[in-house]
Amino acid sequence: MTSRGPHRVVVVTASWTLFAICWLALVDALTPGFVFAMGISGFAVALELATPSHLRPAWYRRARRVLYVQLALFGVYVPLRLYDLYFGF
């Protein structure tokens, strides 16, 4: 069975994130922030790998909105994490 469209994006993102979690655990840097960042980057990579450049299906716009929301959440998370690391709450 071949995967098509959104299913392929989910499979590649899950694979990327699972590999990232294993790698982060191996280097003893497993934190929620790093897992979140790797998940976002995995989604971006999966979206580019799964979508042909000459064809943009209808779900691509919805996926792009989800990516923008994830990036906005990451943009909020990074300053909070840096403040917590250097100044503490």
Instruction: Provide the 10 A C-beta neighbour count for residue 60.
Output: 16
Q: What is the mean pLDDT of the chain?
A: 76
Phi-psi region of 57 (alpha: psi -120 to 50; beta: other; left: phi over 0): beta
Phi-psi region of 5 (alpha: psi -120 to 50; beta: other; left: phi over 0): left
29-79 pLDDT per residue, tens:
778 877 888 888 788 777 777 766 666 667 777 777 877 887 788 778 777
Cα distances from 62 to residues 33, 48, 76, in angstroms, run 24, 14, 22
4-42 pLDDT per residue, tens:
667 877 888 888 888 888 887 887 777 887 788 888 878
Euclidean distance between CA atoms 64 and 70, whole angstroms = 10
